[in-house]
Amino acid sequence: MTPDDAFETSDAEADALARCFAMLAIRAGALAMEIFAAPQIESRMKGDSSPVTEADERVEEFLLSELERALPGVPRLAEESAARGARLRESDAFLLIDPVDGTREFLARSPEFTINVALAEKGAPRIGAVYAPAQERLWFAGARGFETRAAPGGALPAAQDFQPLRARRRPADGLVALVSKSHLDPETKEFLAREPVARSLAIGSSLKFCLLARGEADVYPRFGPTMEWDTAAGDAVLRAAGGATLTPNGAPLLYGKSGQGYRNGPFIAWADPASISSSATLP
């Protein structure tokens, strides 16, 4: 793949790249776990009042240099570089890197943090890998989505140990909803009150998308702010498993929103998008 034809990735190429992202995330996981296991984790606050640790910085540096080798010239949008003012060259295809999603959970020594690598093409998340090193769980998707178990710094398991991902049909006895552990806003609470929610679980990071993709939950409403790098890899995994991430007017969440600084607006990620009525997405 070259930067000019990146947006024409074939299904086979997308699956191969998904495995490449997965392998990089596993290697990056060893760096994150070294810091996670240290007696003390240093952190500082960024401009958006979110924390950053040495793990965010080391993992991002590793992923950026490995991705430049794997996909030379493909523009890269990464959380910590963007916080330092790095600009993305406009392109139909670009990489999105969130070295630690759920930094608050990481600091609280919760295993609900993930390493995220994605490729967006023509505004959609095409390829993604989400790795939760403290849980040794990995999800990745190109044309097809899979989950497997992998130890930080270890090898990607053989294909016979990949479980295909398939989001579930809407259950008749009420929805399982997933919400942020650290950022639950009033609009999300209103959404949960409007929908037939049987159970609502607070989970950190992009794991929420992966739990939808593996058929464990039905909806993840997010009305508070997120950035494109927070959602791209998990969204790629969910879409490959048959789910969808929609804006409140029912359109798929778009990637490459340079005009809004790569911020996502509100979205609702659904396991079974065919089952929702239009009233379910309107505010």
Ligand X SMILES: Nc1ncnc2c1ncn2[C@@H]1O[C@H](COP(=O)(O)O)[C@@H](OP(=O)(O)O)[C@H]1O
Q: Of the ranges 36-44, 134-142, 219-227, 247-255, which one interacts with ligand X (CB under 6 A)?
A: 219-227
Instruction: Using CB under 6 A, pick the residue from 102, 221, 234, 242 that binds ligand X.
Output: 102
Write the DSSP symbol of residue 246: E
Q: Does the footprint of Mg ion cover residue 60 (CB under 5 A)?
A: no
Would you say 230 is a known binding-site residue? yes
Q: Of the ranges 28-36, 117-125, 164-172, 175-183, which one interacts with ligand X (CB under 6 A)?
A: 175-183
Would you say 102 is a known binding-site residue? yes
Q: Of the ranges 81-89, 162-170, 174-182, 238-246, which one interacts with ligand X (CB under 6 A)?
A: 174-182
Q: Does the footprint of ligand X cover residue 231 (CB under 6 A)?
A: no
Buried b (16+ CB within 10 A) or exposed e, 247-266: ebeeebbbbbeeeeebebeb
Distance (Å) of CA 177 to CA 87, 93, 233, 246: 35, 32, 20, 15
Q: Does the footprint of Mg ion cover residue 98 (CB under 5 A)?
A: yes
CA-nearest of 179, 123, 108, 147 to 22 is 147
Q: What's the CA gap between 278 and 131, in Å, rounded?
A: 33
Q: Does the footprint of Mg ion cover residue 79 (CB under 5 A)?
A: yes
185 three-state secondary structure: coil
CA-nearest of 88, 35, 39 to 62 is 35
Q: Which 28-87 positions form the footprint of ligand X (CB under 6 A)? A: 48, 50, 79
Q: Tokens for 174, please give them.
A: 């009420």
Instruction: Give least dist CB 23 to ligand X, A.
Output: 21
How much is the CA Rg of the chain, to the nearest whole Å? 17
Which one, 121 or 228, has the nearer CB to Mg ion?
Answer: 228
Instruction: Using CB under 6 A, pick the residue from 53, 148, 180, 245 that binds ligand X.
Output: 180
Would you say 79 is a known binding-site residue? yes
Distance (Å) of CA 195 to CA 64, 188, 192: 41, 11, 5
User: Could you tell which of ligand X, Mg ion, none binds residue 102, using a CB distance below 5 to 8 A set by kind?
Assistant: ligand X
User: Could you tell which of Mg ion, ligand X, none binds residue 183, using a CB distance below 5 to 8 A set by kind?
Assistant: ligand X
Which one, 142 or 234, has the nearer CB to ligand X?
Answer: 234
Which one, 93 or 227, has the nearer CB to ligand X?
Answer: 227
The 3 state secondary structure assigned to 119-179 is: EEECCEEEEEEEEECCCCEEEEECCCEEEEECCCCCCCCCHHHCEECCCCCCCCCCEEEEE
Chain residues that interact with Mg ion, rule: CB under 5 A: 79, 98, 100-101
Chain residues that interact with ligand X, rule: CB under 6 A: 48, 50, 79, 98, 100-103, 180-183, 204-205, 225-227, 230
Annotated binding site for substrate: 79, 100-103, 230
